[in-house]
Amino acid sequence: MSRSAHPAGPRHADVWPEGHYSAPPADVNALDPKVWAQTVTRTDTGEVSVGGIGVAALAEEFGTPAYFVDETDFRARARAWRTAFGHDADVFYAGKAFLSRAIVRWLHEEGLNLDVCSGGELTTVLSAGMPADRIAFHGNNKSTDEITQAIEAGVGRIVLDSFQEIVRVAHIAQSLGTRQRVQIRVTVGVEAHTHEFIATAHEDQKFGIALADGQAAEAVRRALTLDGLELIGIHSHIGSQIFDMAGFEVAARRVVALLAAVRDEHGVELPEIDLGGGLGIAYTSDDDPREPHEIAKALGEIVTRECEAARLRTPRISVEPGRAIVGPTAFTLYEVGTIKPLEGLRTYVSVDGGMSDNIRTALYDAEYSVALVSRTSDAEPMLVRVVGKHCESGDIVVKDAFLPSDLAPGDLIAVPATGAYCRSMASNYNHALRPPVVAVRDGEARVIVRRETEEDLLRLDVG
Ligand code: LLP
């Protein structure tokens, strides 16, 4: 992401150091709808509200830090994906982005399927009433117990990730007297333009079976011979937080080429392909994500074209968006604790959470936005770094952003676009208590994941 190193205007040029930040915003009180959930707005008093409820009341009732999910926005995004892909395709929400039983019920009601990648996620999804045949089970090292649990539950598909797993799943299915529907996950060999830790289609990484050296074709050969397996398709997931459709198009082309090779070799036309998740969202105003209908159109066209060229029936397509559905729908609300201006550098604003509720900045060098939400301010913007309360200097929530220079302890600030991979990757570092997730809709707020308590911590400590 390219961001200007220097803010505009001579007044600032010698004040602000080199950094990733853009120029100070024209209006530090403005809320860019690109990064804030749909119903987030400033009320007449200057306070921010979501779902019709002001943040001061939310902080009062639920405490801080806390994640607030805009249910209206979540459902609208889920529906937009469902509608964009239509009846000839399936949308599997990737539960790893954020999972709770309320979320599963919303997805069920909106007609989406779900992808899980552990026994814990599977149990959660099943316990919320999602029909098993609408669940896909992923993972590069599923345990025997997890595979057994998934097959016994009757999941719609297991995505096979290695040669050992092909045999393992076939064996367990057979011993349970069933045939499991499976896909084979292939690595298509594209370099997705994203952080190295979240790119998954280049060859030198742990996921999938490589297309390039004939391994994927060999995996298909083996899967087709095993009685416990019903091979229904090929799966590819190229990475996460990707804006450029080119990688998906190359992946689609290569997956269809494999389908054609399978048809030529075995006389079998596999009926499904899954192109994974990974679509990027706006974390700052500099990001320009694609809309679901554009993505559906681009993927549909490429698959249809390639299949026509190879004289294949067009397979049923599925996709697995996680971040693109839940990411933009939530923000994290913090209370400002201490403020330290460092002369010639920047001002450090410490909040009551940190890397335990958002590890993404430390882990991926992720960019975030932030706003003062308990009031507006006419003060000059100041360059800040929002940091947490943990015992390390890498405990950064927002690297570089602008907040009003009259910011004071007790003010509420919020970081938008924290719906994905924040609560789901939250930790108890320094014995922090993981924050609650509160769903807000039409003037009502309810806890869907409660705040951890010290009793929760002590319950696990049995020594
Ligand atoms: N399908 C598969 C097989 C996946 O591995 C993933 C994400 C998804 C779908 C959903 O991807 P999404 O649409 O959410 O990008 N913790 C990292 C992201 C890791 C993604 C892992 N797999 C982050 O915070 O950026």
Q: What is the pLDDT of residue 339?
A: 98
Rounded to the nearest 5 percent, the helix, strand and coil shares of the chain are: 30, 25, 45
Which is more confidently placed, 197 or 432? 432
Is 117 catalytic? The answer is: no
Q: Which residues contact 344 (CB under 8 A, 6 or more apart)?
A: 15, 17
Burial (CB count within 10 angstroms: exposed 0-12, middle 13-18, buried 19+), residue 260:
middle
Atom of ligand 1 nearest to the CA of 97: 14
pLDDT tens per residue across span 302-343: 999 999 999 999 999 999 999 999 999 999 999 999 999 999
CB atoms under 10 Å from CB of 414, counted, come to 27
Residue extent(s) of CATH 2.40.37.10 domains in the chain: 8-70+328-450
Using an 8 Å Cβ cutoff, are 411 and 374 in contact?
Answer: yes
**Would the CA dihedral through 360, 361, 364, 369 be positive or negative?**
positive
According to DSSP, the residues that pair with 182 across neighbouring strands are 158, 231
Instruction: Write down the number of H helices and E strands in the chain.
Output: 13, 21
pLDDT tens per residue across span 49-72: 999 999 999 999 999 999 999 999
- DSSP code of 326? H
Ligand 1 atom 8: the closest Cα is on which residue?
Answer: 277
Domain 138-321 class, CATH top level:
alpha beta
Q: 170 in the Ramachandran plot: left (φ > 0), alpha (ψ -120 to 50) or beta?
A: alpha
pLDDT at 7 over 70: no
Element (H, E) at 438: strand 437-441
Q: What is the pLDDT of residue 199?
A: 65
- DSSP code of 51? T
CB atoms under 10 Å from CB of 154, counted, come to 14
Average pLDDT over residues 394-419: 97
According to DSSP, the residues that pair with 348 across neighbouring strands are 340, 385
3-state secondary structure at position 406: coil
Residue extent(s) of CATH 3.20.20.10 domains in the chain: 138-321
pTM of the model: 0.94
The CA–CA distances, whole Å, from 403 to 34, 122, 246, 331, 385 equal: 18, 41, 37, 17, 10
At 209, list the tokens. 């079976």
Ligand 1 atom 24: the closest Cα is on which residue?
Answer: 421
Q: What is the pLDDT of residue 180?
A: 98
Protein residues with CB under 6 Å of any ligand 1 atom: 94, 96-97, 115, 138, 198, 237, 240-241, 276-279, 320-324, 360, 364, 420-421, 425
Q: What is the pLDDT of residue 10?
A: 34
Burial (CB count within 10 angstroms: exposed 0-12, middle 13-18, buried 19+), residue 131:
middle
Q: What is the pLDDT of residue 457?
A: 96
Pairwise CA distance, residues 396 & 389, whole Å: 9
pLDDT tens per residue across span 176-208: 999 999 999 999 988 766 666 666 667 778 999
Atom of ligand 1 nearest to the CA of 425: 16
How big is the CA angle at 122 (ends 121 and 126), to the nearest 5 degrees? 120
Give the active site residue among 117, 307, 391, 422.
391
Using an 8 Å Cβ cutoff, are 243 and 192 in contact?
Answer: no
CB atoms under 10 Å from CB of 214, counted, come to 11
Atom of ligand 1 nearest to the CA of 366: 25
CATH superfamily for 8-70+328-450 is Lyase, Ornithine Decarboxylase; Chain A, domain 1 (2.40.37.10)
Using an 8 Å Cβ cutoff, are 419 and 67 in contact?
Answer: yes
pLDDT tens per residue across span 97-106: 999 999 999 9
Average pLDDT over residues 107-132: 98
Rounding to the nearest 10 degrees, give the CA dihedral for residues 103, 106, 108, 114. -30
Q: How far is the CA of 169 from the centre of ligand 1 (A)?
A: 23
Return mean pLDDT, the chain: 93
Q: What is the pLDDT of residue 189?
A: 87
According to DSSP, the residues that pair with 279 across neighbouring strands are 242
pLDDT at 89 over 50: yes
At 233, list the tokens. 């398709």
Torsions phi, psi for 384 (to 5 deg): -125, 160
Q: Which of 77, 91, 92, 96 to mutate to test the pocket of ligand 1 (most atoms within 8 A of CB)?
A: 96
CB atoms under 10 Å from CB of 262, counted, come to 21
**Which of 108-117, 142-151, 194-203, 409-418 bottoms out in mean pLDDT, i.e. has the lowest?**
194-203
